[in-house]
Structure 1
Amino acid sequence: MTRPAVRQAASLLLVYPGDDWPWRLSLVERTLGSLPRPAAEALGGFCAGAAGADPLRFAADYVATFDRSRRRTLHMTYYADGDTRRRGMSLARVKSVYLAAGWRPDDAELPDFLPLMLEFSARCPEPGEGLLREHLPGLHRLRSALEDFRSPYADVVGAVLTTLPEPAHVRRRARETTAEAAPPVERVGLDVRSAGPRGGHR
Protein backbone atom coordinates (compact mmCIF):
# COMPACT_ATOMS: atom_id res chain seq x y z
CA MET A 1 0.00 0.00 0.00
CA THR A 2 1.51 3.30 -1.05
CA ARG A 3 -0.31 5.67 1.31
CA PRO A 4 1.17 4.09 4.47
CA ALA A 5 4.64 4.17 2.88
CA VAL A 6 4.36 7.87 2.04
CA ARG A 7 3.15 8.69 5.52
CA GLN A 8 5.85 6.64 7.22
CA ALA A 9 8.50 8.34 5.11
CA ALA A 10 7.13 11.76 5.98
CA SER A 11 7.07 10.81 9.65
CA LEU A 12 10.77 9.98 9.54
CA LEU A 13 11.61 13.27 7.84
CA LEU A 14 9.54 15.48 10.14
CA VAL A 15 11.30 14.40 13.34
CA TYR A 16 14.22 16.53 14.55
CA PRO A 17 17.36 15.68 12.54
CA GLY A 18 19.46 14.13 15.29
CA ASP A 19 22.22 11.56 15.22
CA ASP A 20 20.16 9.07 13.22
CA TRP A 21 19.32 11.61 10.51
CA PRO A 22 21.60 10.12 7.80
CA TRP A 23 20.05 6.69 8.38
CA ARG A 24 16.51 8.12 8.11
CA LEU A 25 17.35 9.96 4.89
CA SER A 26 18.86 6.83 3.39
CA LEU A 27 15.85 4.73 4.37
CA VAL A 28 13.42 7.17 2.75
CA GLU A 29 15.54 7.44 -0.39
CA ARG A 30 15.47 3.65 -0.79
CA THR A 31 11.65 3.65 -0.80
CA LEU A 32 11.17 6.43 -3.37
CA GLY A 33 10.98 4.07 -6.34
CA SER A 34 7.91 2.36 -4.90
CA LEU A 35 5.97 5.56 -4.20
CA PRO A 36 3.52 7.42 -6.47
CA ARG A 37 5.25 10.01 -8.62
CA PRO A 38 3.95 13.22 -6.96
CA ALA A 39 4.92 12.05 -3.48
CA ALA A 40 8.21 10.54 -4.67
CA GLU A 41 9.23 13.77 -6.39
CA ALA A 42 8.39 15.88 -3.36
CA LEU A 43 10.16 13.61 -0.89
CA GLY A 44 13.08 13.01 -3.26
CA GLY A 45 13.65 16.72 -3.71
CA PHE A 46 13.64 17.24 0.03
CA CYS A 47 16.07 14.35 0.61
CA ALA A 48 18.47 15.61 -2.04
CA GLY A 49 18.58 19.05 -0.46
CA ALA A 50 18.90 17.69 3.06
CA ALA A 51 21.71 15.31 2.13
CA GLY A 52 23.77 18.20 0.83
CA ALA A 53 23.16 20.47 3.81
CA ASP A 54 25.43 21.04 6.78
CA PRO A 55 23.97 18.85 9.59
CA LEU A 56 24.27 21.48 12.32
CA ARG A 57 22.76 24.17 10.12
CA PHE A 58 19.94 21.84 9.09
CA ALA A 59 19.13 21.05 12.73
CA ALA A 60 19.10 24.75 13.56
CA ASP A 61 16.77 25.40 10.61
CA TYR A 62 14.41 22.72 11.93
CA VAL A 63 14.17 24.51 15.28
CA ALA A 64 13.65 27.88 13.61
CA THR A 65 10.98 26.41 11.35
CA PHE A 66 8.84 24.47 13.79
CA ASP A 67 9.66 25.61 17.32
CA ARG A 68 9.66 29.39 16.96
CA SER A 69 6.36 30.07 15.26
CA ARG A 70 2.87 29.06 16.29
CA ARG A 71 1.86 29.18 12.63
CA ARG A 72 4.28 26.36 11.76
CA THR A 73 3.88 24.02 14.70
CA LEU A 74 3.81 20.24 14.21
CA HIS A 75 1.23 19.88 16.99
CA MET A 76 -1.92 19.59 14.96
CA THR A 77 -4.65 20.35 17.52
CA TYR A 78 -3.10 23.79 17.91
CA TYR A 79 -4.40 24.92 14.54
CA ALA A 80 -8.01 24.61 15.65
CA ASP A 81 -7.72 25.07 19.41
CA GLY A 82 -4.69 27.24 20.13
CA ASP A 83 -3.75 27.52 23.80
CA THR A 84 -7.28 27.01 25.09
CA ARG A 85 -8.90 24.55 27.46
CA ARG A 86 -10.55 22.99 24.40
CA ARG A 87 -7.14 21.73 23.26
CA GLY A 88 -6.80 19.50 26.30
CA MET A 89 -9.91 17.61 25.26
CA SER A 90 -8.65 17.35 21.68
CA LEU A 91 -5.34 15.89 22.86
CA ALA A 92 -7.16 13.35 25.01
CA ARG A 93 -9.31 12.34 22.06
CA VAL A 94 -6.30 11.77 19.79
CA LYS A 95 -4.70 9.59 22.44
CA SER A 96 -7.93 7.62 22.84
CA VAL A 97 -7.92 6.85 19.09
CA TYR A 98 -4.40 5.43 19.45
CA LEU A 99 -5.32 3.31 22.44
CA ALA A 100 -8.53 2.03 20.87
CA ALA A 101 -6.46 0.69 17.98
CA GLY A 102 -4.08 -1.03 20.39
CA TRP A 103 -1.21 1.32 19.54
CA ARG A 104 0.94 2.89 22.24
CA PRO A 105 3.13 5.65 20.81
CA ASP A 106 6.37 6.95 22.23
CA ASP A 107 5.47 8.88 25.38
CA ALA A 108 8.16 11.49 24.71
CA GLU A 109 5.73 13.67 22.72
CA LEU A 110 2.19 14.95 22.84
CA PRO A 111 -0.25 12.74 20.91
CA ASP A 112 -1.00 15.41 18.29
CA PHE A 113 2.65 15.59 17.12
CA LEU A 114 2.36 15.17 13.36
CA PRO A 115 5.10 12.53 13.00
CA LEU A 116 3.24 10.42 15.58
CA MET A 117 -0.03 10.80 13.67
CA LEU A 118 1.70 9.81 10.44
CA GLU A 119 3.36 6.77 11.96
CA PHE A 120 0.02 5.72 13.45
CA SER A 121 -1.65 6.10 10.05
CA ALA A 122 1.05 3.94 8.47
CA ARG A 123 0.63 1.21 11.07
CA CYS A 124 -3.14 1.45 11.58
CA PRO A 125 -4.48 2.71 8.23
CA GLU A 126 -8.22 2.87 8.91
CA PRO A 127 -8.30 4.88 12.18
CA GLY A 128 -5.20 6.76 11.06
CA GLU A 129 -6.95 7.89 7.89
CA GLY A 130 -9.83 9.26 9.90
CA LEU A 131 -7.50 11.12 12.24
CA LEU A 132 -5.58 12.77 9.40
CA ARG A 133 -8.80 13.78 7.65
CA GLU A 134 -10.01 15.44 10.83
CA HIS A 135 -6.86 17.54 10.82
CA LEU A 136 -6.82 18.23 7.08
CA PRO A 137 -7.43 21.99 7.48
CA GLY A 138 -4.47 22.18 9.87
CA LEU A 139 -2.27 20.27 7.43
CA HIS A 140 -3.12 22.73 4.68
CA ARG A 141 -2.41 25.67 6.97
CA LEU A 142 0.93 24.14 7.92
CA ARG A 143 1.95 23.63 4.30
CA SER A 144 0.91 27.17 3.38
CA ALA A 145 2.90 28.59 6.29
CA LEU A 146 5.95 26.52 5.30
CA GLU A 147 5.65 27.70 1.71
CA ASP A 148 5.53 31.30 2.91
CA PHE A 149 8.62 30.61 5.03
CA ARG A 150 10.30 29.06 1.97
CA SER A 151 11.01 25.91 3.92
CA PRO A 152 11.85 22.64 2.16
CA TYR A 153 9.61 20.93 4.71
CA ALA A 154 6.66 22.24 2.70
CA ASP A 155 7.41 19.43 0.23
CA VAL A 156 7.20 16.80 2.98
CA VAL A 157 3.80 18.02 4.14
CA GLY A 158 2.79 18.32 0.50
CA ALA A 159 3.66 14.66 -0.02
CA VAL A 160 1.34 13.75 2.86
CA LEU A 161 -1.44 15.82 1.32
CA THR A 162 -1.18 13.83 -1.93
CA THR A 163 -2.53 10.88 0.08
CA LEU A 164 -5.59 12.80 1.26
CA PRO A 165 -8.58 14.46 -0.41
CA GLU A 166 -8.10 18.13 -1.12
CA PRO A 167 -11.41 20.03 -1.27
CA ALA A 168 -10.84 23.38 -2.93
CA HIS A 169 -12.37 25.32 -0.06
CA VAL A 170 -9.95 23.73 2.42
CA ARG A 171 -6.90 24.77 0.42
CA ARG A 172 -8.32 28.27 -0.15
CA ARG A 173 -9.16 28.75 3.51
CA ALA A 174 -5.69 27.56 4.53
CA ARG A 175 -4.10 30.23 2.36
CA GLU A 176 -6.41 32.91 3.76
CA THR A 177 -5.84 32.03 7.40
CA THR A 178 -2.06 31.70 7.15
CA ALA A 179 -1.76 35.47 7.07
CA GLU A 180 -4.16 35.91 9.97
CA ALA A 181 -3.40 35.90 13.68
CA ALA A 182 -2.15 32.71 15.31
CA PRO A 183 -4.72 30.43 16.98
CA PRO A 184 -6.43 31.79 20.10
CA VAL A 185 -4.65 31.94 23.44
CA GLU A 186 -6.40 31.14 26.69
CA ARG A 187 -3.73 30.14 29.16
CA VAL A 188 -5.94 30.08 32.23
CA GLY A 189 -7.08 26.55 32.98
CA LEU A 190 -4.79 24.77 30.53
CA ASP A 191 -1.40 23.31 31.15
CA VAL A 192 -0.60 21.53 27.92
CA ARG A 193 1.90 19.38 29.77
CA SER A 194 -0.90 17.90 31.85
CA ALA A 195 -2.66 16.67 28.71
CA GLY A 196 0.25 14.48 27.70
CA PRO A 197 4.01 14.08 27.93
CA ARG A 198 6.45 16.47 26.32
CA GLY A 199 9.81 16.01 24.71
CA GLY A 200 11.38 14.87 21.48
CA HIS A 201 10.04 12.03 19.39
CA ARG A 202 12.27 8.97 19.42
Structure 2
Amino acid sequence: MSPRVPTLKYSDDQLVRAWQAASILMDYPDEDLPGRLDLLGEVASSLPEKLGSSLVTTIEHLRNRSLVDVQGDYVETFDTRRRGCLFLTYFSNGETRKRGLALLRIKQVYTKAGLVLTDDQLPDHLCVVLEFAATTDLRAGLKIILDNRAGLELLRLHLADIDSPWLGALETVCRTLPALKGKDYEAVQRLAAEGPPDEEVGLEPYGAAALSATPGGMP
Protein backbone atom coordinates (compact mmCIF):
# COMPACT_ATOMS: atom_id res chain seq x y z
CA MET A 1 0.00 0.00 0.00
CA SER A 2 1.31 3.48 -0.87
CA PRO A 3 2.27 5.77 2.02
CA ARG A 4 -0.48 8.14 3.07
CA VAL A 5 0.57 11.59 1.96
CA PRO A 6 -1.39 14.75 1.22
CA THR A 7 -2.70 15.49 -2.24
CA LEU A 8 -0.69 18.28 -3.85
CA LYS A 9 -2.05 20.98 -6.14
CA TYR A 10 0.28 20.07 -9.00
CA SER A 11 -0.08 17.05 -11.27
CA ASP A 12 2.23 14.07 -10.91
CA ASP A 13 3.81 14.94 -14.25
CA GLN A 14 4.54 18.49 -13.10
CA LEU A 15 6.02 17.21 -9.85
CA VAL A 16 8.24 14.75 -11.70
CA ARG A 17 9.60 17.45 -14.01
CA ALA A 18 10.07 20.01 -11.24
CA TRP A 19 11.76 17.62 -8.82
CA GLN A 20 14.04 16.02 -11.38
CA ALA A 21 15.16 19.42 -12.67
CA ALA A 22 15.80 20.61 -9.11
CA SER A 23 17.73 17.43 -8.36
CA ILE A 24 20.05 17.99 -11.31
CA LEU A 25 20.54 21.66 -10.53
CA MET A 26 21.31 21.08 -6.84
CA ASP A 27 23.73 18.23 -7.40
CA TYR A 28 27.46 18.85 -7.68
CA PRO A 29 28.07 20.76 -10.95
CA ASP A 30 30.17 18.40 -13.05
CA GLU A 31 31.38 18.74 -16.64
CA ASP A 32 28.02 17.56 -18.00
CA LEU A 33 26.04 20.38 -16.41
CA PRO A 34 26.63 23.15 -19.02
CA GLY A 35 25.33 20.86 -21.77
CA ARG A 36 22.16 20.13 -19.82
CA LEU A 37 21.13 23.70 -19.07
CA ASP A 38 19.22 24.24 -22.31
CA LEU A 39 17.11 21.15 -21.70
CA LEU A 40 16.55 22.18 -18.09
CA GLY A 41 15.42 25.57 -19.37
CA GLU A 42 12.87 23.84 -21.61
CA VAL A 43 11.61 21.85 -18.63
CA ALA A 44 11.29 25.04 -16.58
CA SER A 45 9.32 26.78 -19.33
CA SER A 46 6.90 23.83 -19.47
CA LEU A 47 5.98 24.20 -15.79
CA PRO A 48 3.52 26.60 -14.15
CA GLU A 49 5.15 30.02 -13.75
CA LYS A 50 5.36 29.73 -9.97
CA LEU A 51 7.58 26.66 -10.33
CA GLY A 52 9.40 27.37 -13.56
CA SER A 53 10.49 30.92 -12.82
CA SER A 54 12.54 29.97 -9.78
CA LEU A 55 14.23 27.17 -11.71
CA VAL A 56 15.12 29.68 -14.43
CA THR A 57 16.79 31.92 -11.84
CA THR A 58 19.18 29.13 -10.94
CA ILE A 59 19.68 28.04 -14.54
CA GLU A 60 20.58 31.52 -15.76
CA HIS A 61 23.08 32.05 -12.97
CA LEU A 62 24.80 28.76 -13.73
CA ARG A 63 24.77 29.55 -17.44
CA ASN A 64 26.55 32.87 -16.96
CA ARG A 65 29.44 31.69 -14.81
CA SER A 66 32.40 29.46 -15.52
CA LEU A 67 32.14 25.86 -14.35
CA VAL A 68 35.18 26.32 -12.10
CA ASP A 69 33.55 29.29 -10.34
CA VAL A 70 30.27 27.42 -9.98
CA GLN A 71 32.04 24.42 -8.48
CA GLY A 72 33.84 26.63 -5.98
CA ASP A 73 30.60 28.33 -4.98
CA TYR A 74 28.89 24.98 -4.59
CA VAL A 75 31.53 23.62 -2.22
CA GLU A 76 31.44 26.83 -0.19
CA THR A 77 27.64 26.74 0.00
CA PHE A 78 26.92 23.09 0.72
CA ASP A 79 30.11 21.37 1.87
CA THR A 80 31.65 23.79 4.36
CA ARG A 81 28.64 25.01 6.34
CA ARG A 82 26.30 23.03 8.57
CA ARG A 83 23.42 25.26 7.53
CA GLY A 84 24.02 24.26 3.92
CA CYS A 85 23.83 20.53 4.59
CA LEU A 86 22.05 18.62 1.81
CA PHE A 87 21.54 15.55 4.03
CA LEU A 88 18.00 16.01 5.28
CA THR A 89 18.06 13.83 8.39
CA TYR A 90 21.04 15.75 9.79
CA PHE A 91 18.92 18.74 10.72
CA SER A 92 16.51 16.85 12.94
CA ASN A 93 18.91 14.18 14.24
CA GLY A 94 22.41 15.63 14.15
CA GLU A 95 25.19 13.04 14.21
CA THR A 96 23.35 10.72 16.59
CA ARG A 97 22.13 7.14 16.63
CA LYS A 98 18.69 8.42 15.69
CA ARG A 99 20.09 9.63 12.42
CA GLY A 100 21.42 6.16 11.69
CA LEU A 101 17.94 4.76 12.20
CA ALA A 102 16.43 7.47 10.02
CA LEU A 103 18.89 6.64 7.24
CA LEU A 104 18.06 2.95 7.56
CA ARG A 105 14.34 3.63 7.24
CA ILE A 106 14.87 5.64 4.06
CA LYS A 107 17.16 2.98 2.62
CA GLN A 108 14.49 0.36 3.32
CA VAL A 109 12.00 2.42 1.32
CA TYR A 110 14.43 2.50 -1.60
CA THR A 111 15.12 -1.23 -1.36
CA LYS A 112 11.40 -2.02 -1.36
CA ALA A 113 11.05 0.05 -4.54
CA GLY A 114 13.96 -1.77 -6.17
CA LEU A 115 16.49 1.08 -5.95
CA VAL A 116 20.03 0.13 -4.96
CA LEU A 117 22.35 2.99 -3.96
CA THR A 118 26.05 3.01 -4.66
CA ASP A 119 28.45 2.93 -1.71
CA ASP A 120 29.14 6.67 -2.00
CA GLN A 121 25.47 7.69 -1.77
CA LEU A 122 23.64 8.40 1.47
CA PRO A 123 19.88 7.90 1.14
CA ASP A 124 18.91 11.23 2.70
CA HIS A 125 20.84 13.44 0.26
CA LEU A 126 18.29 15.86 -1.15
CA CYS A 127 19.22 15.13 -4.77
CA VAL A 128 18.93 11.38 -4.20
CA VAL A 129 15.51 11.79 -2.58
CA LEU A 130 14.25 14.03 -5.39
CA GLU A 131 15.56 11.70 -8.08
CA PHE A 132 13.94 8.72 -6.35
CA ALA A 133 10.63 10.55 -6.12
CA ALA A 134 10.78 11.67 -9.75
CA THR A 135 11.87 8.40 -11.34
CA THR A 136 10.90 5.54 -9.03
CA ASP A 137 8.09 6.18 -6.52
CA LEU A 138 6.61 9.65 -6.32
CA ARG A 139 4.42 9.04 -3.26
CA ALA A 140 7.11 7.29 -1.24
CA GLY A 141 9.58 10.04 -2.17
CA LEU A 142 7.11 12.73 -1.19
CA LYS A 143 6.67 11.10 2.22
CA ILE A 144 10.45 11.19 2.78
CA ILE A 145 10.48 14.88 1.86
CA LEU A 146 7.58 15.70 4.18
CA ASP A 147 9.07 13.65 7.02
CA ASN A 148 12.14 15.90 6.77
CA ARG A 149 10.31 19.13 6.00
CA ALA A 150 11.93 21.13 8.80
CA GLY A 151 15.42 20.40 7.46
CA LEU A 152 14.34 21.36 3.96
CA GLU A 153 12.99 24.68 5.21
CA LEU A 154 16.13 25.46 7.21
CA LEU A 155 18.18 24.83 4.09
CA ARG A 156 15.91 27.21 2.18
CA LEU A 157 16.36 29.89 4.82
CA HIS A 158 20.12 29.46 4.68
CA LEU A 159 20.21 29.82 0.90
CA ALA A 160 18.00 32.91 1.12
CA ASP A 161 20.23 34.37 3.83
CA ILE A 162 23.35 34.12 1.66
CA ASP A 163 21.51 35.03 -1.58
CA SER A 164 22.55 31.73 -3.12
CA PRO A 165 21.92 31.02 -6.81
CA TRP A 166 20.65 27.57 -5.78
CA LEU A 167 17.80 29.13 -3.82
CA GLY A 168 15.62 29.15 -6.93
CA ALA A 169 15.88 25.39 -7.43
CA LEU A 170 15.06 24.70 -3.79
CA GLU A 171 12.17 27.17 -3.80
CA THR A 172 10.66 25.21 -6.67
CA VAL A 173 10.67 22.09 -4.51
CA CYS A 174 9.22 23.93 -1.51
CA ARG A 175 6.49 25.50 -3.63
CA THR A 176 5.21 22.08 -4.62
CA LEU A 177 4.58 21.21 -0.96
CA PRO A 178 1.68 22.09 1.36
CA ALA A 179 1.98 25.33 3.33
CA LEU A 180 3.81 25.02 6.64
CA LYS A 181 1.53 24.98 9.64
CA GLY A 182 1.13 23.53 13.11
CA LYS A 183 3.81 21.07 14.19
CA ASP A 184 5.84 21.50 11.00
CA TYR A 185 6.08 25.24 11.52
CA GLU A 186 6.99 24.76 15.18
CA ALA A 187 9.69 22.24 14.21
CA VAL A 188 11.29 24.76 11.86
CA GLN A 189 11.23 27.44 14.56
CA ARG A 190 12.81 25.06 17.09
CA LEU A 191 15.56 23.92 14.74
CA ALA A 192 16.26 27.47 13.63
CA ALA A 193 16.81 28.44 17.25
CA GLU A 194 18.57 25.34 18.56
CA GLY A 195 20.20 23.58 15.61
CA PRO A 196 20.56 19.78 15.29
CA PRO A 197 20.51 17.80 18.54
CA ASP A 198 23.68 17.00 20.45
CA GLU A 199 25.91 19.34 18.48
CA GLU A 200 28.09 21.70 20.49
CA VAL A 201 28.15 24.02 17.50
CA GLY A 202 24.79 23.94 15.76
CA LEU A 203 23.06 26.01 13.16
CA GLU A 204 23.25 29.73 13.61
CA PRO A 205 19.78 30.97 14.62
CA TYR A 206 17.79 32.37 11.74
CA GLY A 207 15.23 34.22 13.80
CA ALA A 208 11.48 33.91 13.61
CA ALA A 209 11.16 36.81 11.21
CA ALA A 210 12.73 34.80 8.40
CA LEU A 211 9.99 32.19 8.74
CA SER A 212 7.34 34.66 7.58
CA ALA A 213 8.20 33.77 3.98
CA THR A 214 7.09 30.13 4.21
CA PRO A 215 6.62 28.22 0.95
CA GLY A 216 2.85 28.29 1.14
CA GLY A 217 3.03 32.06 1.15
CA MET A 218 5.72 32.54 -1.47
CA PRO A 219 4.78 34.90 -4.29
Give TM class, smaller chain: 0.7 to 0.9
Match of 1:121 in 2: 133
Work out which of the residue numbers 167, 185, 192 in structure 2 matches 1:154: 167
Residue of structure 1 equivalent to 2:38: 26
What residue is the counterpart of 2:70 in the other structure? 58
Deviation, 1:171, is 5.1
Q: Contact conserved, 1:33 with 1:40, CA < 8 A, in 2?
A: yes
- Alignment-mate amino acid for residue 171 of structure 2: G
Q: Shift of the alpha carbon at 1:26?
A: 2.5
**Following the alignment from structure 1 to structure 2, what is the Cα–Cα distance between the partners of residues 171 and 154?**
20
Ranges in structure 2 where 5+ consecutive residues have no aligned partner:
1-12, 201-219
The C-alpha deviation readout for 1:53-104, integer Å capped at 9, x for no partner, is 1221110000000011111100000010001111111111110011111222
- Deviation per residue, 1:123-182 (Å, 9 max, x gap): 21121111111111111111001111211111111100111112245457536743x343
Count of paired positions: 186
Q: Which amino acid aligns with 1:162?
A: R
RMSD: 1.9
Report the TM-score, using the length of structure 2 for normalisation. 0.79
Alignment match, 1:165: 178
Segment of structure 1 superposing worse, 167-176 or 123-132? 167-176
4+ residue segments displaced more than 4 Å: none
In the alignment, which residue of structure 1 is the partner of 2:59?
47
**Structure 1 runs not aligned, ≥5 long:** 188-202
User: Could you state the TM-score of these two structures normalised by the residue count of structure 1?
Assistant: 0.85
Q: Deviations over 1:24-70 (max 9, x none)?
A: 32221121222121110000111011100122111000000001111
Separation (CA, whole Å) in 1 of partners of 2:38 and 2:185: 32
Q: Which amino acid aligns with 2:16?
A: P
Q: Report 1 or 2 for greater relative contact order, CA contacts < 8 Å, sequence distance ≥ 6.
A: 1
For 1:18, give the aligned amino acid: D
